[in-house]
């Protein structure tokens, strides 16, 4: 197994942004945080690390309420439907989470106790703010209920974080898109996390951290630190979400803001897996869309440091926040709430698990926006996955069926195996992790083998052994990206296809002879 500097096994927790249960996962979710986190968790396993991979649905978001109203069901019905559909899509995609649940009573108590502990220690401030007020419903409006223009970049936005620029805006700060229908604001007292109050805590964190941020998140951090840091509502006057009675039993109801709540979920769900006899983690890797970047970079860091300061049993592992930009559908960001989607489950059924994972990884919007069309995806799959695999299966089946690795590989094959292994390792190592690079390494491995397979000299044991060993390494190297292909390679040599292959054993020759590769 991979080891820490002290010789112990490296313990890694992996998670992705909890999906709002207002529908199935769409391809933007899958190509971004979901597939990225699964490939990461798998890659850490082949590196020999102790991995926990856990997440939940994000039931307390106001988007649940607005979507339920739009489609004519109750929020609870919508949550149950979404949980069933997202679980099915995760299974279709081969996303092997240790735990994927929805918030329950134990979780609710954990969240309420966490925030109440910080509130009792004075971490939050009570402040009067102006929030949009719906007089007809006699309710304050926030988050998904409020739309307008971002006061920073003028893009259409909902209250909270602008998806275009990634910066924070308060519900009452949005520029009204339609002055005639804009709700008036009314003052109300809520509890807030004043980030400016903790500026030195945050700047020190980033000054001493040696974990680089992806460029889009670094930009959010730099732009935010350049001005006065905002205050973030910790509670809203609402009956939706986890209720707290910090203002007394006779005060109007207040619920914990679902965005800060997500951080506590990142603590809770992996902990529920590790409490089954497994130690805590050294590193936490979280995969998010850039629209969650502000909360991760500021709110979650502040909550983590305040929890430690005020005596909560919170670890401070190395934290890697891996952002992605947006998948575009005809120039528009994938959005469940706006109906601009291609559903993950539908595409997975049409394309197949490995084919979908490969093309979504290869075109993932890791560092910049990426356009998706099924026509282009099919062309990419044909050229870089289907055709090379078919060539490999046919050519090696005809020339090398019944042969085995009986000699050291030739110098050419040895160099090719080492080069491909280095490419995959660079993609899988946490410090340089990239699913696009992993998919590109896989595409090149297939391309090289397809081109070279027809040239293998059947009377040269080192050439035969090299070709078979180059194919065999995919049992390990391909497992994080295309697990079915890895299983097919194992089966082609009569090997166990159910266990986790380890990278350190990738070049160890298979015991059995090559039969045929079924793809």
Helix (H, G, I), strand (E, B) or coil at 386: helix
Q: Is the pLDDT of residue 1 over 50?
A: no
Q: Is the pLDDT of residue 335 over 70?
A: no
Q: Which residue, chain included where needed, has tokens 């936490």?
A: 284
pTM of the model: 0.93
Is 333 found in the same domain as 184?
yes
Is 79 found in the same domain as 163?
yes
Q: What is the mean pLDDT of residues 416-420?
A: 97
Start-to-end CA span in the chain (Å): 31
Tens digit of each residue's pLDDT (9 = 90 or more) over 295-307: 999 999 999 999 9
**Mean pLDDT lowest among 87-101, 322-336, 389-403:** 322-336
**Domain-located, residue 367:** no
Helix (H, G, I), strand (E, B) or coil at 49: coil
Q: State the pLDDT at residue 282.
A: 92
Is 395 found in the same domain as 320?
no
Q: State the pLDDT at residue 449.
A: 98
**Which residue segment(s) compose the domain that 322 sits in?**
11-345
Q: State the pLDDT at residue 502.
A: 93
**Domain-located, residue 377:** yes
Q: State the pLDDT at residue 341.
A: 76
Q: State the pLDDT at residue 134.
A: 86
Q: State the pLDDT at residue 9.
A: 83
Is 402 found in the same domain as 313?
no
Q: Considering Cα of 259, then 261, then 263, then 266, what sign does the dihedral take?
A: negative
Is 339 found in the same domain as 386?
no
Is 291 found in the same domain as 254?
yes
**Domain-located, residue 439:** yes
**Domain-located, residue 2:** no
Q: State the pLDDT at residue 175.
A: 83
Tens digit of each residue's pLDDT (9 = 90 or more) over 491-518: 999 998 888 999 999 989 999 999 999 9
Q: State the pLDDT at residue 148.
A: 83
Is 377 found in the same domain as 304?
no
Helix (H, G, I), strand (E, B) or coil at 240: coil
Tens digit of each residue's pLDDT (9 = 90 or more) over 378-393: 999 999 999 999 999 9
Is 440 found in the same domain as 339?
no
Q: Is the pLDDT of residue 337 over 80?
A: no
Q: What is the mean pLDDT of residues 438-458?
A: 97
- Per the structure, the count of domains in the chain is 2
Reported confidence tier of residue 139, pLDDT bands at 50, 70, 90 = confident
Is 155 found in the same domain as 204?
yes
Q: State the pLDDT at residue 131.
A: 85
**Domain-located, residue 114:** yes
- Percent over 90 (pLDDT), the chain: 75
Is 401 found in the same domain as 271?
no
Q: Is the pLDDT of residue 457 over 90?
A: yes
Tens digit of each residue's pLDDT (9 = 90 or more) over 6-60: 456 889 999 999 999 988 999 999 999 999 999 999 999 999 999 999 999 999 9
Is 394 found in the same domain as 300?
no
Tens digit of each residue's pLDDT (9 = 90 or more) over 234-244: 999 998 999 99
Is 252 found in the same domain as 164?
yes
3-state SS record for 139-163: EECCHHHCEEECCCCCCEEECEECC
Q: State the pLDDT at residue 160.
A: 77
CATH number at residue 406: 1.10.730
Q: Is the pLDDT of residue 459 over 60?
A: yes
Q: State the pLDDT at residue 267.
A: 94
Sheet holding 235-236, edge to edge: 235-236, 254-256, 243-244
Q: What is the mean pLDDT of the chain?
A: 92
**Domain-located, residue 309:** yes
Sequence-ordered list of residues with C-beta below 8 angstroms from that of 343, at least 6 positions apart, any chain: 23, 24, 25, 26, 27, 89
Cβ(449)–Cβ(470) below 8 Å: yes
**Domain-located, residue 366:** no
**Domain-located, residue 353:** no
CATH number at residue 249: 3.40.50.620
């Amino acid at each position: 197994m991979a080891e820490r500097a002290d010789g112990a096994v490296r313990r890694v927790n992996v998670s992705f942004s909890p999906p709002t249960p207002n529908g199935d996962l769409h391809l933007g979710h899958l190509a971004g945080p979901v597939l990225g986190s699964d490939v990461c968790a798998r890659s850490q396993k082949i590196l020999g690390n102790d991995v926990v991979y856990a997440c939940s649905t994000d039931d307390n978001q106001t988007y649940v309420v607005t979507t339920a109203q739009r489609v004519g069901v109750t929020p609870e019905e919508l949550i149950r439907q979404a949980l069933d559909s997202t679980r099915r899509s995760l299974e279709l995609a081969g996303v092997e989470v240790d735990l994927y649940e929805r918030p329950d009573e134990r979780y609710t108590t954990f969240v309420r106790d966490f925030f109440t502990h910080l509130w009792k220690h004075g971490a939050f401030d009570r402040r009067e703010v102006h929030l949009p007020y719906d007089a007809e419903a006699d309710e304050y409006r926030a988050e998904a209920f409020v739309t307008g223009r971002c006061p920073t970049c003028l893009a259409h936005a909902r209250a909270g974080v602008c998806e275009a620029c990634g910066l924070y805006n308060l519900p009452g700060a949005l520029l009204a898109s339609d002055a005639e229908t804009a709700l008036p604001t009314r003052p109300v007292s809520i509890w807030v996390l004043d980030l400016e109050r903790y500026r030195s805590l945050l700047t020190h964190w980033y000054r001493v951290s040696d974990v680089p941020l992806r460029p889009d998140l670094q930009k959010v951090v730099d732009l935010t630190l350049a001005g006065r840091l905002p205050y973030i509502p910790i509670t809203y006057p609402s009956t939706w979400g986890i209720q707290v009675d910090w203002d007394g039993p006779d005060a109007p109801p207040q619920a914990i803001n679902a965005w800060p709540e997500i951080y506590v979920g990142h603590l809770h769900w992996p902990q529920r897996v590790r409490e089954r006899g497994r130690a805590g983690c050294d590193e936490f890797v979280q995969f998010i869309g850039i629209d969650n970047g502000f909360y991760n970079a500021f709110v979650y860091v502040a909550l983590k440091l305040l929890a430690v300061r005020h005596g909560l049993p919170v670890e401070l592992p190395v934290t890697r926040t891996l952002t992605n930009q947006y998948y575009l559908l005809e120039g528009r960001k994938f959005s469940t709430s706006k109906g601009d989607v291609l559903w993950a489950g539908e595409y997975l059924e049409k394309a197949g698990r490995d084919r979908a994972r490969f093309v979504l990884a290869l075109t993932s919007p890791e560092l910049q926006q990426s356009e998706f069309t099924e026509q282009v995806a099919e062309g990419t799959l044909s050229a870089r996955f289907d055709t090379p695999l078919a060539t490999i299966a046919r050519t090696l089946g005809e020339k090398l069926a019944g042969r085995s690795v009986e000699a050291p590989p030739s110098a050419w094959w040895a160099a090719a195996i080492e080069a491909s292994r280095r490419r995959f390792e660079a993609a899988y190592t946490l410090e340089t992790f990239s699913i696009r690079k992993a998919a590109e390494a896989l595409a090149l491995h297939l391309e090289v083998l397809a081109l070279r397979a027809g040239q293998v000299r059947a009377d040269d044991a080192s050439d035969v052994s090299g070709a078979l060993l180059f194919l065999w390494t995919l049992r390990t190297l391909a497992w994080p990206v295309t697990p079915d292909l890895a299983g097919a390679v194992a089966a082609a040599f009569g090997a166990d296809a159910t266990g986790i292959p380890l990278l350190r054993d990738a070049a160890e020759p298979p015991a059995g002879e090559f039969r045929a590769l079924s793809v």
